[in-house]
Structure 1
Amino acid sequence: MNQGWFSRPVSVSVGIAGATRHILSAQQAVELLAGQWRDAGSLQHGAALRACRRAMSGDVPTEIARDAFVGAAREAHVLVE
C-alpha cells in the first residue's frame, strides 16, 4: 500500500492549542480522520476517509482524496486557508 502523496500539503488546525499540521499524504489524512476528528461520523468525514483509503490502495487518484479531505476539514472548521 502506498502513502498517496498529495500534490500540495493541506494545513489543518489540530489539538486543544490549535497547532497547525501539514498533511502531505492520504495516509496522514487517514490517521487524522480515524483519530479524534471533530466531526467524526459526518458525511464529509466518511467520504474523505473512504477516498483517502482508496487512494492509498491506488483505486482513486490522490487529488480526489485530497479534495475530499479538504472538504471534511472545511466542514469541521479545522482547515487553515
Structure 2
Amino acid sequence: MMQGWFSRPVEVAVGVSGSIRHISNAEQAAELLTGQWRDAGSALHGEALRACRRAIRGDVPADAAREAFIAAAREAHVLVE
C-alpha cells in the first residue's frame, strides 16, 4: 500500500500552458519534482523531494511532505493560491 496521502490536495500550474494539477500524495509530488521542475536543484526543491520520498516510505507524516512541497512550489512560482 502506498504511503503519503496528503490531508488536502495541492494545486500547481504545470507545463507551458499552465495546466492545473491537483497533487494528492507524496508519490505524485515526487514524480513532479523529478520531472521538469522550474527550480530543480534549489534547497527547497531538494528538501521537498527528500520529504516526499520519506513520506512514501512512511518515515515522516505525509503532511510534512505536503508542506515541503508547497514551499518548493511557491519558490518555483507554480503554486496555485
TM-score when scaled to structure 1? 0.97
Q: Distance in 2 between matches of 1:61 and 1:51?
A: 9
Gap runs ≥5 in structure 2: none
- Counterparts in 2 of 1:56-71, with a 5 A limit? 56-71=56-71
Runs of 4+ in 1 over 6 A off after TM superposition: none
TM-score when scaled to structure 2? 0.97
Q: Distance in 1 between matches of 2:54 and 2:70?
A: 16
Cα root mean square deviation, aligned:
0.9
Residues 2-40 of structure 1: CA distance to partner in whole angstroms, max 9, x if unpaired? 241000000000000001000000000000000000000
- Counterparts in 2 of 1:1-81, with a 5 A limit? 2-81=2-81
Identity percentage over the alignment? 72
Q: Distance in 1 between matches of 2:2 and 2:65?
A: 13
Q: Secondary structure at the match of 2:50?
A: helix
Gap runs ≥5 in structure 1: none
- Residue type matched to 1:48 in 2? A
